[in-house]
Each structure stands twice: as structure tokens, then as C-alpha cells.
Amino acid sequence: MASFAARSFVAVLRKDLLLEVRGGQSTVALGALSLLVLVVLVFAFNPAGGERGAAAAAGALWVALVFSGMLGATRAVSGESENGCIRALLMSPLDRAALYAAKLAAAFIFMAVAEAASIILMVLFFNLEFDLRVMRLAPAVMLGALGFAALATLLAGISSRLRGGDLVLPLLAVPMFVPALIAGVKASAAALAGAPLGEFAVWLKVLVAFDVLFVAAGYLLFEYVAGEE
């Protein structure tokens, strides 16, 4: 049974990634959106050095993460929903947990690529240095991307079945993600400001807790929200 679930996961994820490699629409759109968000916020924040500049850079990075996450999750789910394939997948012997995990992994990969580009742009736009402080961003950003991908993938299964679902997704996802968003911004600002590891780790623990919550909710509910008529 475990081997069948693993094969199902690999098959669905491989299909999504092959479609992206051939078309490249998701990663290009996510990268362009992240660039646009960062450009706007650079002019709004007027970046300066010190802790204030680190906080502004961290906030801009997480705003880009939220916007790219919504687009990435929608791309990962909407294709099957538009032509009815998601219902066929749910009616097949395919393991439901494997289906959700594959969609989550695809959304996470799309977001991770966009966030890697966003970090580089953030360093350039906010006059930061490519040093150890930027490297310390990786755990917070990856945990945030995983949690938001889990939440947005679940909610994309709901919004894709609604008229005007693209407008519904941010209305559902952003308020639910706010506590994790605050923790992510605090962790990223602490990392960029060179704060002690203890201050940085506290916020990482909060992100881990929300990741567990969002992934568990998606695992338990995805079959029902995606399969409802």
C-alpha cells in the first residue's frame, strides 16, 4: 500500500512538473509577480540601513511570498478542476493523501523557485549584503513557503469550484495565515539584523507549529473540499 501511494505521489508530481517545464507559466508568473511586489515596496519603504531596513526587507519578502503562494497553489490545482480531472482522480484508486501531497509539493516547488529569486532581488533592492545573515533566512522562508503552500492548496480546492474563485482565495488564505506571517516576518527580520539564535529560533518554532496545523488540515480535508459538487 505504501509503495502504491509513493508511486501515485511521484506520478502526479511528475506530471505537474513536466507541464511546468514545458510551459514555464507558473514560475515565470511567480517570478514576475514577486519582482513587481518588491519594486513597489522598495519605493514605498525607502530602504535604509540597520534594524529598520532589515524589518522593511523582511516584510517585503513575505508579502512577495504570500502573493506568489496564492498564484502557485492556484496553478497547481486549477488545471484539473477546470476540466473535471480532479474528480476523476478522486474517484480513481489513487491515494487521497498522495494526491494532496503531490499538489502541495508542486506548489511548494513553484514557491521555492520564486522565493529564491525574491531573496536575490530583495538583497539588491534593499542594499543588503550577501552574507551569513541572508543565509539564515532560508529556514524561515522554507517553513513559511511550506505552510502557505499547504493552506493555499487546500483553499484552492474550494475556490476553484466557485464563481470568482480567484477573488475568494486571498480572502480566505491571508487572514488564516496572518499569525504565521507575523512569525515569519519577525524571524526574517531577526535573521537579517543579526539577532542571537535564541530570538530567531522562537519564531521558527511558531512557524513549525503552523506548518503542522496546515499540513494536517489539508491531509484531512482535501478529499472533501476538492470532491464536493
In tens, the pLDDT along 159-198 reads: 666 665 566 777 788 888 999 999 999 998 888 888 888 7
Asked whether the predicted pLDDT for residue 143 surpasses 90, the reply is yes
Percent of the chain scored above 90 by pLDDT?
A: 13
pLDDT attached to residue 141: 92
The top-scoring range by mean pLDDT among 6-20, 32-46, 101-115, 173-187 is 173-187
pLDDT at residue 183 in the model: 92
Tell me the pLDDT band of 204, cut-offs 50, 70 and 90. very high
Q: Cell numbers of 102, please?
A: 503531490
What pLDDT, on a 0 to 100 scale, did the predictor assign at position 48?
60
Average pLDDT (126-131) is: 80
CB-CB neighbours of 28 under 10 Å: 12
Cα–Cα distance for residue pair 99/77, rounded to 1 Å: 11
Closest CA to 44 of 63, 65, 67, 70: 63
Q: What pLDDT band is residue 203 in, cutting at 50, 70 and 90?
A: very high
Q: Within 10 Å of residue 194's Cβ, how many Cβ atoms?
A: 13
**Burial group, residue 80, by CB count within 10 angstroms (0-12, 13-18, 19+):** buried
Instruction: For the chain, give the percent of residues with pLDDT over 70.
Output: 77
C-alpha distances in angstroms, 12 versus 26, 45, 96, 97?
A: 17, 41, 11, 12
Give the span between the Cα atoms of 136 and 96, in whole angstroms. Answer: 35
**Average pLDDT of the chain?**
78
Domain range enclosing 110: 2-227
| Structural domain total, the chain | 1
User: What does the DSSP 8-state code read for residue 193?
Assistant: T
> Over 70: is that where the pLDDT of 78 sits?
no
What pTM, to 2 d.p., does this model score? 0.84
pLDDT at 90 over 70: no
For residue 199, pLDDT beyond 60:
yes
